[in-house]
C-alpha cells in the first residue's frame, strides 16, 4: 500500500527501513526515504506504521 503518494513510498519501504536500518521515528525515516515534504498527509500514517512495527516485532533500537 502506498503511504506517500507524492514520492511513491510504500508500507514495505517503511518496514524495510525499520527492520534493516533501525528507523524508530519520522526524523530517522526521512533520512532514509523521501516523504512528507510535499503535502505532508503521509506523516501520521508513516509514524503509525513505525510504531506498529516496533511494537509487533520488538525492534527497539539500542540507544546506548
4-60 tens-digit pLDDT = 999 999 999 999 999 999 999 999 999 999 999 999 999 999 999 999 988 765 555
| Domains of the chain, start order | 2-57 (1.10.10.1100)
- Per-residue pLDDT, 54: 85
Question: What's the whole-model pTM score?
Answer: 0.83
Largest CA distance in the chain: 35
**pLDDT above 70: residue 62:** no
Which residues, including other chains, have CB under 8 Å from residue 54's CB and lie 6 or more apart?
18, 24, 60
Amino acid at each position: 500500500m502506498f503511504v506517500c503518494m507524492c514520492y511513491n513510498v510504500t508500507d514495505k519501504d517503511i518496514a524495510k527501513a525499520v527492520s534493516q536500518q533501525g528507523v524508530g521515528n519520522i526524523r530517522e525515516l526521512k533520512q532514509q526515504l523521501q516523504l512528507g515534504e510535499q503535502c505532508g498527509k503521509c506523516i501520521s500514517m508513516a509514524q503509525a506504521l513505525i510504531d506498529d512495527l516496533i511494537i509487533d516485532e520488538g525492534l527497539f533500537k539500542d540507544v546506548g
